[in-house]
Amino acid sequence: MDLPVWQALYEELGDQGFLPIAVALDTGGPAAAREWIEKAHATYPCLIDEHHVVARLYDMVNVPNAVWIDEQGRIVRTTEPAGAGDGFRTMDRTTFRMAPEAIEDGRRRREVYTNALRDWVQHGAASRHLLDATEARRRLAGPSEEHALAAAHFRLGTWLFEHGMREAAQRHFHAAQRLRPESWAYKRQAWALEQPGLAGGPPFWAAVEALGERRYYPEIEMEGMPR
């Protein structure tokens, strides 16, 4: 869980104008998210997004996904995995152990990513990690018609879930997943609501295996980031 990492960065850089805002994509609401926020002793804003509004607005498909927003409210780095990589896929499904090189890869990614955040705080608009408008727009494909329809299904699914209609909710969650299969947020949220633990259980690992050579987290296009 990343909340303590962002807390440490906030303690280091908060007095220089840096502010993490963590958004829990959690239809389960505060009841689902509370434990993690309290455990992290987070003093930056930790918000609860039961309908995955931020995911829709910023075209996020997984966690952790992040966007950098400057002092004027401009997007200066577009949505991407926040330093996360695919090393977890080497995890032993019973002991939860990971291969040493996967652990090292994860450590390295996080280091590169958090150093990039430090560079931004230090150099502001001159940071080499900021994207100019052309590059930012290149990376922002934005949602397709299918993705927009998926979001409508997901929204209806959350409403049905909140009103106790769990089966109907799952039908619409499944529709969203079919329309946007690359959204792990749609998949894992639906599994978590179906049964606690399922989002990290057999269906999750089966879906990860089905990726084959494809990535779970897309490559982070950042100077110094391992490929």
Partner 1 sequence: MTVTVLWEDRETTCAGPEVGDDALWLPASALKEVSGWELKPEGACRDELCVPLPAGREAEFLRDGGREFNLSALAALLGQPQVHESTPPVWAFGEAAAARRDALRSLEAPEFTLPDLDGQQHRLSDYRGKKIFLVSWASW
Is residue 19 part of the contact set for partner 1 (CB under 8 A)?
Answer: yes
Interface region with partner 1, contact rule CB under 8 A, candidates 13-21, 90-98, 103-111, 219-227: 13-21
Q: Segment 171-190, which members bind partner 1 (CB under 8 A)?
A: 172, 175, 185, 188-189
CA distance linking residue 180 with residue 124, whole number of Å: 35
Q: How far is the CB of 55 from partner 1 (least distance, A)?
A: 7
Q: How far is the CB of 219 from partner 1 (least distance, A)?
A: 18
Phi-psi region of 164 (alpha: psi -120 to 50; beta: other; left: phi over 0): left
Is residue 48 part of the contact set for partner 1 (CB under 8 A)?
Answer: yes
Is residue 222 part of the contact set for partner 1 (CB under 8 A)?
Answer: no
User: Closer CB to partner 1, residue 132 or residue 213?
Assistant: 132
Is residue 164 part of the contact set for partner 1 (CB under 8 A)?
Answer: no
CA distance linking residue 80 with residue 193, whole number of Å: 25
Single-letter amino acid code for the residue at 136: A
* Residue 137 half-sphere exposure toward CB, CA atoms < 13 A: 3
Assigned token pair, 146: 């299918």
User: Closer CB to partner 1, residue 91 or residue 140?
Assistant: 140
CA distance linking residue 35 with residue 47, whole number of Å: 13
48 sits in which H/E element: strand 46-49
CA dihedral 154, 159, 162, 168 (to 10 degrees): -70
* Cβ atoms 158, 50 nearer than 8 A: yes
Q: Which of 4, 8, 30, 43 binds partner 1 (CB under 8 A)?
A: 30
Q: Segment 128-157, which members bind partner 1 (CB under 8 A)?
A: 133, 136-137, 140-145, 147-149, 151-153, 155-156
Is residue 15 part of the contact set for partner 1 (CB under 8 A)?
Answer: no
Q: Segment 54-73, which members bind partner 1 (CB under 8 A)?
A: 54-60, 62-73
Q: Which of 102, 103, 112, 199 binds partner 1 (CB under 8 A)?
A: 199
Q: How far is the CB of 176 from partner 1 (least distance, A)?
A: 10
Q: How far is the CB of 56 from partner 1 (least distance, A)?
A: 7
Distances (CA, A) of 88 to 18, 51, 124, 151, 166: 29, 27, 33, 28, 31
